Amino acid sequence: MDLGLLDRVAIVSASSEGLGRAAALDLAREGARLALCARTDKTLQTAAQEIRQQTGADVFARTCDVSDPDQIDGFVAKVAEHYDERIDILVNNAGGPPPGTIAEVGLREWRIAFDRTFASVVRFCQQVVPYMQRRKWGRIITITSSSTRQPIDGLATSNAMRPAIVGFAKTLSRELAPHNILVNNVAPGMFRTARHEELLESMATSQNRSPEEILQERVAQVPLGRMGDPDEHAHMITFLASERASYITGQTIAVDGGLVRGL
């Protein structure tokens, strides 16, 4: 199947590791030109170089903390300059919000969660939409979580901020549909990444159990009986970014091995 992604310009934020990096690599394999960002230049440039070597893609990479709207503005401006005022695809990603129950999470953590998980998505969208409108084509895909459908115990900030993104994306999808800009979310279940290891450690500490025990218990909830590979998540993003997804907008699509029980 020709996905029609050759030469499309795709921003993938927070993409030096994990699901963001896997999405960037998959888009590059289909011929897209990339703009990557993360906070730490060394890991970011390593990821960019590896993707160039594996795919031959054009990869622009600059540091940007997505919690800071000024840094997002500066990053998008540099991407536009690098790619001749062209931005076709935005994949929104960020590190996860701080873990904890409602009793454990203070106002500071709520503010971090708002800035990192919600406001970053709003700002990136505001910045890229004018470029997409000019070409009457665009794809905006946000990496969220299974918490958009089913709250996860011990992740209060995620359970509140991720559904907010669903409401935002649905609204935006309606506003941008006349411009042929499609807005969707992907909702990952459990994937082997640094974020997942961090969550296991945090749950193990608060429950006074071993990370291995918690991992086995979590995997037992997945009908497919295993964690996902980041590549499996990336393929959904690539499809939603492609020409082949031309009649899908305003959706939140789970990639979770059947984890969420809701219909």
Interacting residues toward ligand NAD by CB under 6 A = 14-20, 38-39, 64-67, 93-96, 116, 143, 145, 188, 190-191, 193-196
Q: How far apart are CA 107 and CA 109, in angstroms?
A: 5
Give me the least distance between CB of 110 and ligand NAD, in Å please.
Answer: 16
Type of residue at 257: G
Nearest CA among 36, 30, 63, 32 for reference residue 49? 36
Give me the least distance between CB of 210 and ligand NAD, in Å please.
Answer: 19
Give me the least distance between CB of 256 and ligand NAD, in Å please.
Answer: 8
Give me the least distance between CB of 144 and ligand NAD, in Å please.
Answer: 7
Give me the least distance between CB of 137 and ligand NAD, in Å please.
Answer: 26
Closest residue by beta carbon to ligand NAD:
18
Residue number, 79 or 190, with CB nearest to ligand NAD: 190
DSSP element (H, E) containing 90: strand 89-92
- Burial status of residue 100 (CB atoms within 10 A of its CB: 0-12, 13-18, 19 or more): middle
Give me the least distance between CB of 20 and ligand NAD, in Å please.
Answer: 5
Residue number, 126 or 180, with CB nearest to ligand NAD: 126
- Burial status of residue 232 (CB atoms within 10 A of its CB: 0-12, 13-18, 19 or more): middle
Nearest CA among 72, 26, 24 for reference residue 48? 24
Residue number, 78 or 244, with CB nearest to ligand NAD: 78
Residue number, 119 or 245, with CB nearest to ligand NAD: 119
Quick check: 80 and 134 in contact, CB under 8 A?
no
Count of CB atoms within 10 A of residue 45's CB? 17
Residue number, 24 or 172, with CB nearest to ligand NAD: 24
